[in-house]
Amino acid sequence: MNEHKYLLFIFLLLWLTTAGAQDKFDYIWINGYRSNSGNPASLQGGILFDFHTPPLSTSYFNIPIFLNAYTHICDKDGQVLYYTNGCKIINRNHEVMYNGEEINVGTRAYNSCAEHDYRLMQGLLALPAFAEHPDDYFLFHLRKYDTLPLYHIGYDLLLTTINASAQEGLGAVTEKNRFIHQGFFLEHLSAVRHANGRDWWIVLPHWVSNEFYVWRFAPDGLHGPIVQEIGRGWTGVNWGGQVAFSPDGTKYAMANFYNGLQLLDFDRCSGAFSNPIYMLREDLPLNDFGPTGVGFSPSSRFLYLSWSTKLFQFDLAAPGIPPSRIEIASARHYSFFQQQLAPDGKIYMSSSATINFLHVINEPNKRGKACAFEEIGLTLPARRGWMMPNQPNYRLYELPGSPCDTLGIQLNPPIPGATVKVYPNPASHALQVVIPQRWSGQALQFRLYDAIGRPLRHIRWDGFPFDITIDVSELPAAMYFWELRSESERLGQGKVVVAR
Average pLDDT rounded to a whole number, residues 268-290: 87
Whether 144 has a pLDDT exceeding 90, the answer reads no
Mean pLDDT of the chain: 85
Average pLDDT rounded to a whole number, residues 31-43: 77
Three-state SS for 10? helix
The span from the CA of 265 to the CA of 274, in Å, is 5
| Neighbour order of strands in the sheet with 292-296 | 292-296, 302-307, 310-315, 326-330
Tell me the HSE value of 203 on the side-chain side, using a 13 A CA sphere: 31
Whether 258 has a pLDDT exceeding 90, the answer reads no
The residues spanned by each domain of the chain are: 20-384, 421-498
Query: Do the Cβ atoms of 252 and 191 come closer than 8 Å?
Result: no
User: Regarding beta strands 89-90 and 124-127, do their DSSP bridges make them parallel or antiparallel, or are they unpaired?
Assistant: unpaired
Q: What are phi and psi of 148, to 5 degrees?
A: -105, 155
pLDDT band at 84 (very low <50, low <70, confident <90, very high): very high
Q: What is the biggest distance separating any 2 CA atoms in the chain, rounded to whole angstroms?
A: 76
Class of domain 421-498: mainly beta
The model's pLDDT over 40-79, given as tens digits with 9 standing for 90+, comes to 777 788 999 999 888 899 999 999 998 887 899 999 889 9
Whether 149 has a pLDDT exceeding 80, the answer reads no
Whether 434 has a pLDDT exceeding 90, the answer reads no
98 secondary structure, DSSP code: B
The model's pLDDT over 362-421, given as tens digits with 9 standing for 90+, comes to 999 899 999 999 999 999 999 888 889 999 999 888 887 778 877 766 554 444 445 788
How confident is the model at residue 5, as a pLDDT? 42
The span from the CA of 75 to the CA of 189, in Å, is 21
The span from the CA of 128 to the CA of 132, in Å, is 12
Whether 21 has a pLDDT exceeding 80, the answer reads no
pLDDT over 90 percentage in the chain: 49
Residues in the chain: 500
How confident is the model at residue 403, as a pLDDT? 81
Sheet strands (E) in 316-400:
326-330, 339-341, 347-349, 355-361, 373-384
Q: Architecture of 20-384 per CATH?
A: 7 Propeller (2.130)
Average pLDDT rounded to a whole number, residues 430-459: 77
pLDDT band at 10 (very low <50, low <70, confident <90, very high): very low
Q: Do domains 20-384 and 421-498 have the same CATH topology?
A: no
Collect all residues with Cβ–Cβ distance below 8 Å to 358 and sequence separation of at least 6.
348, 349, 350, 377, 378, 380, 384
The span from the CA of 251 to the CA of 6, in Å, is 37
pLDDT band at 488 (very low <50, low <70, confident <90, very high): low
The span from the CA of 51 to the CA of 349, in Å, is 16
Query: Do the Cβ atoms of 309 and 288 come closer than 8 Å?
Result: no
Query: Do the Cβ atoms of 33 and 44 come closer than 8 Å?
Result: yes
- Give the residue with greater pLDDT, 288 vs 103: 103
- Give the residue with greater pLDDT, 236 vs 23: 23
CA nearest neighbour of 183 among 224, 240, 223, 144? 144
β-strand partners of 273: 266
CA nearest neighbour of 396 among 129, 260, 238, 196? 196
Whether 150 has a pLDDT exceeding 60, the answer reads no
The model's pLDDT over 121-134, given as tens digits with 9 standing for 90+, comes to 899 999 999 999 99
Long-range contacts of 404-409 (CB under 8 A, 24+ apart): 404/194, 404/195, 404/196, 404/268, 404/269, 404/453, 405/195, 405/196, 405/197, 405/453, 406/196, 407/196, 407/197, 407/198, 409/196, 409/197, 409/198
- Give the residue with greater pLDDT, 293 vs 238: 293
CA nearest neighbour of 299 among 265, 248, 249, 264? 248
322 secondary structure, DSSP code: G
> Is 0.95 surpassed by the pTM of this model?
no
Please provide the distance, in angstroms rounded to a whole number, between the alpha carbons at the two ends of the chain.
Answer: 52
Instruction: Please report the sign of the dihedral spanned by the C-alpha atoms of residue 234, residue 396, residue 124, residue 407.
Output: negative
How confident is the model at residue 294, as a pLDDT? 97
Average pLDDT rounded to a whole number, residues 19-23: 51
Three-state SS for 41? helix
Task: Please name the helix (run of DSSP H) or strand (run of DSSP E) that holds residue 193, with its range, or none.
Answer: strand 190-193
How confident is the model at residue 151, as a pLDDT? 53
CA nearest neighbour of 317 among 254, 371, 250, 372? 250
pLDDT over 70 percentage in the chain: 86
How confident is the model at residue 148, as a pLDDT? 57
Tell me the HSE value of 58 on the side-chain side, using a 13 A CA sphere: 18
How confident is the model at residue 342, as a pLDDT? 93
Q: Where are the alpha helices (DSSP H) in 149-231?
A: 166-169
Query: Do the Cβ atoms of 410 and 375 come closer than 8 Å?
Result: no
How confident is the model at residue 95, as a pLDDT? 96
The span from the CA of 170 to the CA of 163, in Å, is 9
Task: Please name the helix (run of DSSP H) or strand (run of DSSP E) that holds residue 495, with its range, or none.
Answer: strand 490-498
Query: Do the Cβ atoms of 336 and 311 come closer than 8 Å?
Result: yes
The span from the CA of 427 to the CA of 232, in Å, is 43
The model's pLDDT over 292-339, given as tens digits with 9 standing for 90+, comes to 999 999 888 999 999 989 999 999 989 999 999 999 999 988 899 999
Whether 482 has a pLDDT exceeding 70, the answer reads yes
∠ Cα 294 234 291 (to 5°): 40
Three-state SS for 457? strand
Burial of 430 (0-12, 13-18, 19+ CB in 10 A): exposed
The span from the CA of 30 to the CA of 196, in Å, is 31
Average pLDDT rounded to a whole number, residues 217-223: 96
CA nearest neighbour of 137 among 164, 172, 107? 164
